[in-house]
């Protein structure tokens, strides 16, 4: 069955430009030049090999891609002293045994997201392996959908919707055991999730950010808001002691999925993207958001979130994803 990407309710930014999404896809068993060649073959452009573990593909029909080993110390200029630069290729060779390579796409209009499915198929055909290929692989897929607005109500509604649907999302995604143990993508603290989901929780943007940072002093969350907060209020993050070099300010939600099942021919980007669209649909419906938020709060108080996952799946009635 072919799965087509759905479109969320809000398709433009506050400036009237089409919203876009960047995608980060992790994999193993395929080196950076080979993955870059797959990109060029599909979308055109030129490949530049910047070092043995990092390539750029520029001027494609979608924009500029990067392919690199997801290991800062393997790349010149990404941490440490320049005296170590001659050793970085060797260090990268060792690291590539357990660390993923990552393709980062340019921001792509929502209605062109389906064009990336060909890249998934091409990487698979070239031997790329995903999370399920080895107990050592804890590889993920990240979506970075551009926000429509940056006001507090808009951000809070999406955070609420995500927290309400998170138990259902985890069940649908079928989180790989390796990813659970890695700690890279942790669930939000239950008490914080119940507080935010409550319909009565309506702080201003500044208080929302402060309380998020106090309860989540890490970017390792399923929905990482550090990049968005760094974009709209960098001083507040600095005051909270957030100085992670991986945090890049950008006007996006950073939805960090725990699986990238490249070795599975039945897996697609669209199926995971469509679950994010369910979050945006709930965020856009305040009445339904408050109703489900109150029910989530009650299930959480009874420590029955497994039951809530089933209940949420029954009640959100997602649109069919088949194309």
Higher-scoring residue by pLDDT: 103, 95: 103
Q: Which CA distances in Å does 45 have to 54, 63, 165, 252, 289?
A: 16, 9, 39, 26, 44
| Span between the terminal Cα atoms of the chain, in Å | 8
Q: What is the DSSP letter of 251?
A: S
Measured CA to CA, the distance from residue 32 to residue 54 in angstroms comes to 6
Of 36, 173, 53, 49, nearest in space to 105 by CA: 36
**231-269: buried (b, 16+ CB within 10 Å) or exposed (e) per residue?**
bbbeebbeeeebeeeebeebbbbbbbbbbbbbbeeebbb
- Mind listing the pLDDT tens digit for each residue in 187-209? 999 999 999 999 999 999 999 99
Say whether pLDDT at 232 is over 70.
Answer: yes
For residues 320 and 32, the model is more confident at: 32
> pLDDT band for position 93 (50/70/90)?
very low
Least confident residue range of 6-20, 110-124, 178-192, 286-300: 178-192
Sign of CA dihedral 158, 159, 160, 166: positive
The pLDDT value recorded for residue 323 is 41
Q: What is the pTM of this model?
A: 0.87
Q: How many CB atoms lie within 10 A of CB 271?
A: 16
Signed CA dihedral, 42, 43, 46, 50: sign only: negative
The residue among 8 and 133 whose pLDDT is bigger is 8
Confidence class for position 72, pLDDT limits 50, 70, 90? very low
Letter string b/e over residues 295-316, b meaning 16 or more CB atoms within 10 A of that residue's CB? bbbebbeeeebeebbebbbeeb
How far, in Å, CA of 41 to CA of 26, rounded? 19
Q: List pLDDT tens digits, range 305-320.
A: 999 999 999 988 655 5
Please give the residue that has the higher pLDDT: either 179 or 212: 212
């Amino acid at each position: 069955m072919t799965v087509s990407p759905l479109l969320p309710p809000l398709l433009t930014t506050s400036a009237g430009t089409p919203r876009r999404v960047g995608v980060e896809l992790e994999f193993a068993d395929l080196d950076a030049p080979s993955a870059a060649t797959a990109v060029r073959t599909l979308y055109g452009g030129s490949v530049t090999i910047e070092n043995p573990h990092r390539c750029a593909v520029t001027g494609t029909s979608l924009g500029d891609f990067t392919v690199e080993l997801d290991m800062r110390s393997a790349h010149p200029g990404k941490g440490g002293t320049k005296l170590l630069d001659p050793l970085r290729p060797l260090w990268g060779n060792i690291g590539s045994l357990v660390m993923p390579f990552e393709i980062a796409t340019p921001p792509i209009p929502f209605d062109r997201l389906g064009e990336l499915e060909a890249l998934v198929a091409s990487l698979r055909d070239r031997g790329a392996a995903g999370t399920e290929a080895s107990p050592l692989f804890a590889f993920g897929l990240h979506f970075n959908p551009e926000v429509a607005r940056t006001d507090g109500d808009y951000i809070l509604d999406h955070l609420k919707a995500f927290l309400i649907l998170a138990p259902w999302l985890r069940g649908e995604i079928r989180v790989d055991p390796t990813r659970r143990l890695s700690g890279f993508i942790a669930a939000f603290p239950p008490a914080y999730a119940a507080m935010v989901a409550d319909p009565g929780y309506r702080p201003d943007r500044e208080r929302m950010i402060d309380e998020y940072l106090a309860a989540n002093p890490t970017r390792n969350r399923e929905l990482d808001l550090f990049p968005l907060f760094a974009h709209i209020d960098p001083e507040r993050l600095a005051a909270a002691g957030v100085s992670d070099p991986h945090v890049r300010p950008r006007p996006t939600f950073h939805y960090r999925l725990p699986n990238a099942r490249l070795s599975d021919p039945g897996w697609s980007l669209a199926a995971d993207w469509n679950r994010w669209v369910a979050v945006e649909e709930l965020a856009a419906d305040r009445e339904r958001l408050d109703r489900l938020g109150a029910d989530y709060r009650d299930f959480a108080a009874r420590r029955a979130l497994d039951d809530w996952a089933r209940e949420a799946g029954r009640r959100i009635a997602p649109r069919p994803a088949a194309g």
